[in-house]
Amino acid sequence: MPVAFQWTASLATGVPDVDDQHKEIFRRANVLFEACVRGKSAEEVRPLLEYLQSYIREHFTAEEAQHDAARYPGRVSHRVLHRTMAAHLAELTLVLEEAGAGANLVRLTNRLVVGWLVNHIMREDRAFAEYLRSRPTP
């Protein structure tokens, strides 16, 4: 089961804090995937899932603070996307509790973190970075 996911330069937004946080999300996701593949129990995997979920929530809060500070015109719609992702992230806890730390958890986490998040970085986080670069310096 291929689970390791590498942050690559193709995901760079050019905003250093944001890029560092994205790298950390993928690092934490890989720790979780590895534990699942090694057959760790739900009790052992639960803190790793929480570690990933809490970091992603912190990342969203940090990005939204940057959007507000920069008066980013797309900040409300970007925030809605974060909220939707956060709700799906929270559902992973139910998957773990009901189905254990098996293939289902890996598949759904992979779909969220690698699928949804990569897409979000490429479109939405990059759009904000572009806005930062293009606006006149105050």
Q: Residue 59: name the closest of 35, 29, 91 by CA.
A: 29
Nearer residue to Fe ion within complex by CB, 77 or 137: 77
> CA 91 to CA 104: how far, in whole Å?
12
Neighbours of 68 (CB within 10 A): 11
Nearer residue to Fe ion within complex by CB, 69 or 94: 69
For residue 13, the minimal CB distance to Fe ion (Å) is: 8
For residue 59, the minimal CB distance to Fe ion (Å) is: 6
Q: Is 19 in the site for Fe ion (CB under 5 A)?
A: no
Among 125, 129, 130, 137, which residue sits at the site for Fe ion (rule: CB under 5 A)? 125
Q: Which of residues 46-85 bind Fe ion (CB under 5 A)?
A: 63
> CA 107 to CA 123: how far, in whole Å?
23
> In angstroms, what is the C-alpha Rg of the chain?
16
- Site residues (CB under 5 A) for Fe ion? 63, 125
